[in-house]
Amino acid sequence: MELGEGKFTLAAADGFRLAVHSSPVDDSISESVSAIVPAKSFSELNRLLGDHDQLVEIRLDADRGQILFQLENTEMVSQLIQGSFPNYTQLIPQQWTTRSTVEVDGFLRTTRTAAIFARDGSGIVRLHLTPGSPGSLHMLARADEVGENKSEMDAQIEGEEAKVAFSSKYLIDVLNVIGEQNVTVELTNPSSPGVFRPLGSDNYVHVIMPMFVQW
């Protein structure tokens, strides 16, 4: 977590994917600070907040290695994780050769269906992006004993034709948290990460490593 410049930024990575989210803060601080906070602490904070909109005051105590979350009627203290977090900005590709814009709900429904067939194939779904008017996004999942699932969606495709494979679970996870109607997917080649961004918002970016398959 980074605090400063009128906003807070949360970044999380697990070796296969990276998510970065930024939001404004009510009270800016003069000097930027950062800390590594256990993910379980944010899960607990989210549970305490529930569906209520309320301000959360955040206090960092670097000397004691603690972070305090102050809610209306609750205080929660968590120990910080010692160490340094990787420079995640270097992990986000800044260029692309193919950029697609897809409607989120349809993309999510298609991926959930494909995931059923992908269970016996390491959860892999293949995407084939084809430019056109409109362009199309083809999704393929295979299961030896069940068969194949093929789907096609209209998509706005900029740049070149592209093929890439992702974990269906990772696709479902990112599509579940995109807060806009459409999502953009930026690709470079089949072995490079895919970058997912909500269209119309610059406060969230999600990077997923591809799966290596035979086409």
Residue 110 and residue 81 share a domain: no
Residue 46 and residue 71 share a domain: yes
Residue 184 in any domain: the answer is: yes
Residue 108 and residue 7 share a domain: no
How far apart CA 87 and CA 101 sit, in angstroms, is 28
Residue 183 in any domain: the answer is: yes
Residue 85 and residue 57 share a domain: yes
Highest mean pLDDT range out of 3-7, 57-61, 120-124, 158-162? 158-162
Provide the residue range defining the domain that includes 33: 2-89
- Amino acid identity, residue 108? L
Residue 152 and residue 59 share a domain: no
CA atoms within 13 A on the CB side of 200: 9
CA atoms within 13 A on the CB side of 157: 23
Q: In the chain, where does DSSP find H-type helix?
A: 39-49, 104-118, 168-177
- Domain boundary pick from 39, 54, 89: 89
How far apart CA 13 and CA 107 sit, in angstroms, is 23
Residue 213 in any domain: the answer is: no
Rounded to 5, what percent of the chain is helix, strand, coil?
20, 45, 35
Could you tell me if 168 and 115 are in contact, meaning their C-beta atoms sit under 8 angstroms apart?
A: yes
Residue 160 and residue 180 share a domain: yes
- Domain boundary pick from 89, 115, 149: 89
Residue 125 and residue 82 share a domain: no
Q: Total domain count for the chain?
A: 2
How far apart CA 194 and CA 158 sit, in angstroms, is 15
CA atoms within 13 A on the CB side of 99: 11
Q: What is the pLDDT of residues 170-202, one digit of tens each?
A: 999 999 999 899 999 999 999 999 999 999 999
- Domain boundary pick from 62, 89, 116: 89
Give pTM, 2 decimals. 0.91
Residue 196 and residue 124 share a domain: yes
Mean pLDDT of 69-90: 92
Residue 66 and residue 111 share a domain: no
What CATH number did the domain enclosing 142 receive?
A: 3.10.150.10
How far apart CA 131 and CA 160 sit, in angstroms, is 7
How far apart CA 116 and CA 123 sit, in angstroms, is 8
Predicted local distance difference test score (pLDDT) of residue 27: 79
211 band by pLDDT with thresholds 50, 70 and 90: very high
Mean pLDDT, the chain, rounded, equals: 92
How far apart CA 177 and CA 212 sit, in angstroms, is 25
